């Protein structure tokens, strides 16, 4: 009986392994692919409403999936969109619900145990947004303040670990997504919102009065942001990586960056106004899928 149980277990594991390794076959067999999208991840990925999504990583993924369609010889590829959050994005990739996640996910060593990442196209700096009239300019001024962040992100942990936060006692409040977290700041329920700088800049640019907010304080972390997909699927990773490397080499990635971060974007036609950082330019010059820990060592 034990031997039979072990055989059943190995059979189940084998099925799981096959499922994890044939995304291209799954796409070819069904003629469809599911893209994980974010509703409020700044200029990287956001919703326009009515089931429509856009942004820098969204555009990159559209290029990638066009290359997938061409490689598989499909006359048509049905792209389905699955909204994901910071909490559920990794499980939805792992269980096969989402084939490629095109949001604002940090590539780190812990996550690389569960999923795979494409070459980094954007390197983020985690910062703090406050109201312009708050007087807050540094982490050590957050003592006895309320700090907002988004459930499922690592931002507050980064804040607590920062040397300037030693002995600083603050209260945490959580938004269900980035827009909800910004609302906590906007409504006065939070004194600061800690998150990726471009997400903060994007939310501020789309707020009622952008001049009422500013991004301040020390850089909490430098993090590579990547497009995510299932682990142990070398054929799909090679296809995605090849497509992205071609985008970088052609200069189209730099053009897409300019489109989303330096030009007016929908729906309010305001500019995020965030030039590509030296770290982002370095990621384009030397494409890789190294985790955040490698950046921290520098």
Q: Are 150 and 127 in contact (CB under 8 A)?
A: no
Same domain for 119 and 230, yes or no, is yes
Among 77, 90, 53, smallest CA distance to 226 is for 90
User: 19 in a domain, yes or no?
Assistant: no
Same domain for 153 and 94, yes or no, is no
User: 18 in a domain, yes or no?
Assistant: no
Neighbours of 46 (CB within 10 A): 27
Residues paired with residue 222 on neighbouring β-strands, in sequence order: 125
Q: What is the CATH number of the domain that holds 111?
A: 3.40.190.10
Mean residue pLDDT of the chain comes to 90
Residue 297, pLDDT score: 63
Domain end marker among 175, 203, 222 = 222
Mean of pLDDT values over 273-285 = 91
In this structure, of 179-183, 249-253, 266-270, the range with the lowest mean pLDDT score is 266-270
User: 17 in a domain, yes or no?
Assistant: no
Residue 149, pLDDT score: 92
Among 106, 104, 111, 267, smallest CA distance to 177 is for 104
Residue 33 pLDDT more than 50? yes
Among 207, 214, 200, smallest CA distance to 136 is for 214
Q: Are 29 and 95 in contact (CB under 8 A)?
A: no
What is the pLDDT confidence band of residue 164, given thresholds at 50, 70 and 90?
Answer: confident
Domain end marker among 177, 196, 222 = 222
Put simply, whether the predicted model's pTM sits higher than 0.95 gets the answer no
| Total domain count, the chain | 2
The residues, ordered by sequence, that sit 6+ positions from 30 with a Cβ below 8 Å of its Cβ are none
Same domain for 292 and 244, yes or no, is yes
Residue 19 pLDDT more than 70? no
Whether the link from the prior residue into 267 is cis, omega within 30° of 0, is yes
Q: Are 83 and 47 in contact (CB under 8 A)?
A: yes
Q: Are 134 and 145 in contact (CB under 8 A)?
A: no
User: 58 in a domain, yes or no?
Assistant: yes
Domain end marker among 193, 222, 251 = 222
Domain that holds residue 178: 125-222
Query: Half-sphere exposure of 116 toward its Cβ, with a 13 Å CA cutoff?
Result: 20
In this structure, of 21-25, 92-96, 161-165, 168-172, the range with the lowest mean pLDDT score is 161-165
pLDDT in tens, 67-92: 999 999 999 999 999 999 999 999 99
Burial class (CB in 10 A: 0-12, 13-18, 19+), 249: exposed
Residue 160, pLDDT score: 86
Same domain for 206 and 119, yes or no, is no
In this structure, of 23-27, 69-73, 135-139, 219-223, the range with the lowest mean pLDDT score is 219-223
């Amino acid at each position: 009986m034990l031997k039979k149980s072990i055989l059943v277990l190995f059979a189940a594991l084998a099925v799981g392994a096959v499922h994890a390794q044939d995304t291209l076959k799954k796409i070819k067999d069904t003629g469809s692919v599911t893209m994980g999208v974010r509703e409020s991840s700044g200029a990287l990925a956001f919703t326009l409403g009515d089931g429509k999504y856009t942004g820098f990583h969204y555009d990159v993924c559209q290029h990638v999936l066009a290359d997938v369609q061409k490689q598989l010889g499909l006359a048509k590829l049905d792209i389905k969109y699955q909204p994901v959050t910071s909490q559920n994005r990794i499980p939805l990739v792992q269980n096969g619900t989402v084939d490629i996640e095109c949001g604002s996910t940090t590539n780190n060593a812990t996550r690389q145990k569960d999923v795979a990442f494409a070459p980094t196209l954007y390197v983020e700096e985690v910062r703090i947004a406050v109201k312009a009239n708050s007087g807050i300019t540094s982490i050590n001024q957050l003592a006895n303040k309320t700090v907002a962040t988004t459930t499922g992100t690592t931002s507050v942990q980064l804040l607590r670990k920062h040397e300037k936060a030693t002995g600083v006692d603050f209260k945490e409040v959580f938004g269900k997504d980035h827009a909800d977290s910004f609302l906590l700041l906007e409504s006065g329920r939070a004194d600061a919102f800690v998150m990726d700088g471009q997400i903060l800049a994007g939310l501020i640019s789309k707020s009622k009065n952008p001049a009422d907010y500013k991004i301040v304080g020390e850089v909490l972390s430098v993090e590579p942001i990547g497009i995510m997909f299932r682990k142990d699927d070398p054929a799909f990773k090679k296809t995605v990586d090849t497509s992205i490397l071609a985008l970088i080499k052609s200069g189209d990635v730099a053009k897409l960056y300019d489109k989303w971060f330096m030009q007016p974007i929908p729906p309010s036609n305001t500019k995020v106004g965030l030039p590509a950082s030296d770290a982002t330019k370095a990621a384009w010059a030397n494409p890789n899928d190294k985790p955040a820990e490698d950046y921290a060592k520098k």
